[in-house]
Amino acid sequence: MKPAVFIALGIVTHLVALTRAQLTGWFPCPDDQPHSSLSCAYFGVPLDYHNASAGNGQLLVVKANATSGEKKGTVFHNPGGPGDSGLQALQTDAEALMNRTGGAYDIVSWDPRGVGPYTYPGGVFCLSDGEFFSFWNGTIEATGINWLGNFTNQTDLDNLHAQAPIIDAKYKEFAEKCLQGPNGTTLQYIGTAATVRDLVGLADAIEGPNSPIFYWGLSYGTIIGAWFVNMFPDRVGRVILDGVVDATRVATTQSYKLWRDQVSSAEDVYSAFANACAMAGPTGCNLTTFAGASGADVIDYLSQAFEGAYLHPLETSFETLNDLRTSVFIGLYAPQYWEEYADVIIPGIITDLVGNLSTTTTQTRMRHVLDIIQPGSYTEPAILCADSVDADPSLTIQDIFAEIVNVTQTVSPSCMFGALWPIACHRCSYWPVRAPERYQGPFNNRTYANKVLIVGNTYDDATPFFEAQHMAEVMGDQVALVRQDGFGHTSLAESSQCVTDIIIAYLKDGTLPAGTASTPTVCAVDDSVELFPGVKSVNVQANRTIPGRGSTSNQNGTSGQTGTTGQNGS
């Protein structure tokens, strides 16, 4: 916590100059790799665009220069989260973004409000590292929820409900700690409406006042995009919403119910992961234990590991069953890493939990992944909850528990992700502030200066395709919908020349395919994409149809501009 305070105080000394200059000159990015082509700047912003007395903040801005010929403009980019760093995103994804845009545009991202040590307000810290374990000791916040199957075992249910008064009291106390912590006075200023206005200000500074804005948002970055096109319809240049979070749900629904949507495709992606692993065989995937195994056999093997960790965990283990589940769930986001997860990360956690595998070279790479889920910044719930609808005063923690049990029983009964804990959206009923400005609609009666491109994957375990479909339905003839027929989170998870061609044409002159909510344009992933050695993504199937919210979504679509309808969704 103390370093965050120090950084914040250091920023204050030059905010006045930034307010006058807005965007500083470009300089080598902090924490960047030697010889990197990225450059950074600081951009001054008001904390509250409607109240100058609130003071000022600053954003770390990062730029990847265009790589192909004469620069045509700037594409602004947000990687999602909420709370992901633009600096880190371009350090890892700049090449992929350049490939998808033809290399003709500078890609500019930034660490939004509440993110990282270089933006102010920066990362949200409510507990010190040393305080975390003592504060949450004896609660599901530290251990996760322990359950098997579809959460019908009465002992599991009783254990969960016994936590209700404990979590209720702890979440209330935690909210006060956040208000009293180093970010307490700025928590309300990190919402998405302010970030949208920051985006517009950045575009004015870089491309010129009132210029059309080109923007590509991934995951929660699609909330920024959906809010932007409706708050500033006349500034819409080219806007890509990729891996869509349904903005209408965020605007109208108690946040704890959003988890149901997020996990709705996890069963499908999990089955595809298992099927691909089985196709690779024992020599290509460590989770396939015998030749000729099926995807069902891989899932059975993992289910046995879950059961072993549930019934007989090693007392010396530094992992929990929740860590195993969370790591599997996170791994589904990125098919390009499925081989590493199956061969190294998942077996390593199982070994630590139940000691029944022989993998010994797992710890370093496994800890890299588990860093994602270890205690630290509370930026994700801080932004999500700042954007959330007002808390329902009648809502109790028992209502939240009842919802996650129902999600487990009805949405995710076999792969057991429904009751992962903690989840950011479950905190919002207790979060102490909301942003002073939140865009809550309408999303369906705007005419944009230019039409919007919406892209979703057939099987995405974080943003199911039905969310993209619903936003396309709501936004009507102002958008075109493309379904990339593959796996993972956002179109960057797997390459598709078809999607790349659509994006390049759209950026060039606004050309869009004819895809609609009911009949999306369908693009296959590239034939060269492998999930495991010798296992092409186009040859892997999931076990279910494309899910919809409460019903099966329309699977039909028109083929993309290059290539035919892919095989994954067949």
What is the full per-residue pLDDT of the chain (570 aa) written as tens digits?
Answer: 323 222 222 333 333 334 434 899 999 999 777 667 899 999 999 999 999 999 999 999 999 999 988 899 999 999 999 999 999 999 999 999 999 999 999 999 999 999 999 999 999 999 987 898 899 999 999 899 999 888 999 999 999 999 999 999 999 999 999 999 889 999 999 999 999 999 999 999 999 999 999 999 999 999 999 999 999 999 999 999 999 999 999 999 999 999 999 999 999 999 999 999 999 999 999 999 999 999 999 999 999 999 988 887 766 556 788 989 999 999 999 999 999 999 999 999 988 887 654 443 344 333 433 344 445 789 999 999 999 999 999 999 999 999 999 999 998 877 679 999 999 999 999 999 999 999 999 999 789 999 999 999 999 999 999 999 999 999 999 999 999 999 999 999 999 999 999 999 999 999 999 999 999 999 999 999 999 999 999 999 998 644 444 333 344 455 554 333 333 333
- CA distances (Å), origin 344, targets 76, 280, 293, 349: 36, 15, 19, 9
Question: Considering the domain boundaries, does residue 173 fall inside one?
Answer: yes
* Single-letter amino acid, residue 176: E
Question: Considering the domain boundaries, does residue 198 fall inside one?
Answer: no
Q: Strands across the sheet with 236-242, in order?
A: 27-28, 38-46, 56-64, 105-111, 73-78, 213-218, 236-242, 452-459, 479-487, 521-524, 558-559
Question: Considering the domain boundaries, does residue 517 fall inside one?
Answer: no
Question: Considering the domain boundaries, does residue 568 fall inside one?
Answer: no
Query: How many distinct structural domains can be found in the chain?
Result: 1
- CA distances (Å), origin 238, targets 172, 215, 478, 512, 543: 43, 6, 12, 11, 36
Question: Considering the domain boundaries, does residue 147 fall inside one?
Answer: yes
Question: Considering the domain boundaries, does residue 395 fall inside one?
Answer: yes
**Sequence-ordered list of residues with C-beta below 8 angstroms from that of 431, at least 6 positions apart, any chain:** 175, 178, 381, 382, 385, 386, 388, 391
Enter the pTM of the model: 0.90
Question: Considering the domain boundaries, does residue 467 fall inside one?
Answer: no
The phi and psi torsions of 439 (rounded to 5 degrees) equal: -90, 120
SS3 state at 465: helix
Question: Considering the domain boundaries, does residue 135 fall inside one?
Answer: yes
Q: Are 441 and 226 in contact (CB under 8 A)?
A: no
Structural domain span for residue 163: 131-181+377-430
